[in-house]
Amino acid sequence: MKLKKVSLLFLLLLSSWAIAADRAMLTIPTTAVTGNPLGVGSDQMVVPISILNGRELSLKRESTLAETLNSVPGLSNSSFGSSVGRPMIRGMDSDRIRILQNGVNSIDASNLSFDHAVAIDPLIIEQIDVIRGPATLLYGGGAVGGVINAIDHRIPKEKLQGITGRGEIRYGGANLEQSQAAVIDIGTGNFVMHLDAYHRDGKNYRIPGNAVSNRLQSTAAWNPEEENYTLYSTDHGKRRLLNSQSETKGGAIGASMIFDKGFAGFSYAKHQSVYGSVKEPGVHLDMDRDRYDFSSELKDLNTFFDRAKFKVAYTDYQHHEKEGSEIHTTFKNAVTDGTFELGHKPIAGLQGVLGVQFDHGKFNAIGHEAFVPNSRTNSQSVYVYEELPLEKHKVTFGLRHGKHDVENKGGEGSDHGNHFSDPTAKKFNTNNAAIGGLYALNDQWSLTGNISHNERAPTYFELFANGLHKATGVYEEGQADLKKEKSNGIDGQIRWKSGQDSLTFGAYFNRFSNFIGLLSTNEPKVVEHEHDGEHHEITYQKSRFTGIKAEFKGIELEGKTMLTDYLQFNLRADYVDAKDKTNGGYVPRISPLKLGAGLKYEFDSFGARLDVLHAFRQDRVATNYNYEGNKELITDGYTNVSMMATYKLPTQYNLEAFTRANNLLDEEIREHASFLKDIAPMGGRSLMIGLRGEF
CATH classification at residue 435: 2.40.170
pLDDT of 246 above 90: yes
With respect to residue 566, please indicate whether it lies within any of the assigned structural domains.
no
Q: Are 166 and 212 in contact (CB under 8 A)?
A: no
- Note down the domain range covering 56: 2-415+423-440+603-694
Residue 210 has pLDDT above 50, yes or no: yes
Q: Find the farthest-apart pair of alpha carbons in the chain and give their distance in angstroms, rounded.
A: 76
pLDDT of residue 116: 87
CA pair distance 596, 121, nearest whole angstrom: 26
Residue 107 within any structural domain of the chain = yes
- pLDDT surpassing 90 at residue 170: yes
Residue 121 lies in a domain: yes
Query: DSSP for 612-661?
Result: EEEEPPB----SS-EETTEEPPPB--EEEEEEEEEEE-SSSSEEEEEEEE
Q: What is the mean pLDDT of residues 613-622?
A: 95
3-state secondary structure of 422: coil
Average pLDDT estimate for 424-434: 94
* 598 in a structural domain: no
Q: What is the three-class DSSP state of 464?
A: helix
Identity at 554, one-letter amino acid code: G
Report whether pLDDT(429) > 50: yes
Q: How far, in Å, CA of 214 to CA of 281, rounded?
A: 21
CB 200 within 8 A of CB 176: no
CA dihedral (120, 125, 129, 132) in degrees, to 10, reads: 30
Question: Residue 2, exposed/middle/buried by CB under 10 A (0-12, 13-18, 19+)?
Answer: exposed
Report the alpha-carbon distance of residue 332 to residue 365 in Å, rounded: 6
Cα(220)–Cα(225) distance, integer angstroms: 13
Instruction: Tell me the C-alpha distance between 48 and 450, whole Å.
Output: 10
Distance CA 589, CA 554 (A): 15
- Quote the percentage of the chain above a pLDDT of 90: 64
What would the mean pLDDT of 330-350 be, rounded to a whole number? 94
With bands split at pLDDT 50, 70 and 90, how would you rate the model's confidence at 14?
A: very low
Q: How far apart are CA 549 and CA 528, in angstroms?
A: 35
Buried b (16+ CB within 10 A) or exposed e, 307-317: bbbbbbbbbeb
- Closest listed residue to residue 374, CA positions, set 422, 332, 408, 327: 408
Residue pair 64/76 in contact (Cβ under 8 Å)? The answer is no
Looking at residue 473, its pLDDT comes to: 76
The C-alpha torsion from 239 through 639 and 177 to 7, rounded to 10°, is -140
Q: Do strands 238-241 and 283-299 pair parallel, antiparallel, or not at all (unpaired)?
A: unpaired
Half-sphere exposure of residue 54: CA atoms within 13 angstroms, side-chain side? 7
Rounded Cα–Cα distance for residues 218 and 531 (Å)? 27
Q: Choose the weakest-confidence range: 79-88, 154-163, 347-356, 484-493.
A: 79-88
Reported confidence tier of residue 414, pLDDT bands at 50, 70, 90: low
Q: For residue 457, what are the contacts with CB-CB under 8 A and spacing of at least 6?
A: 141, 142, 379, 402, 404, 406, 428, 430, 484, 485
**Is 458:482 a contact under the CB 8 Å cutoff?**
yes
Cβ–Cβ < 8 Å for 408, 421: yes
Instruction: Look at strands 326-347 and 350-367 and give their pairing.
Output: antiparallel
Give a yes or no: residue 564 inside a domain: no
Reply yes or no on whether the pLDDT at 114 is more than 60: yes
pLDDT grade, residue 27 (50/70/90)?
very low
Distance CA(379)–CA(456), nearest Å, equals: 12
User: Using the 8-state DSSP alphabet, how is residue 234 labeled?
Assistant: T
Does the residue 511 lie in any domain? no
Contact in structure between 171 and 178 (CB atoms under 8 Å): yes
Residues facing residue 159 across a β-bridge:
none
Per-residue pLDDT at 113: 83
Cβ atoms of 453 and 431 closer than 8 Å: yes
What are 534's strand-pairing partners?
Answer: 531
Residue 271 lies in a domain: yes
Which of 560, 586, 583 has its CA nearest to residue 571? 560
Q: Is residue 572 part of a domain?
A: no
**pLDDT per residue over 594-606, tens digit each?**
999 999 999 999 9
> 189, 137, 139: which is closest to 161 by C-alpha?
189
* Residue 653 pLDDT: 81
CA–CA gap between residue 228 and residue 473 (Å, rounded): 8
> Per-residue pLDDT tens for 248-279?
999 999 999 999 999 999 999 999 999 998 88
- Cα–Cα distance, 340 to 356 (Å, whole number): 5
How would residue 47 be classed by pLDDT, with cut points 50, 70 and 90?
Answer: confident
Contact 478, 463 (CB under 8 A): yes
Give the chain's domain count.
1
**Residues 70, 50: Cα–Cα separation, whole Å:** 12
Cβ-count burial of 573 within 10 angstroms (0-12 exposed, 13-18 middle, 19+ buried)?
middle
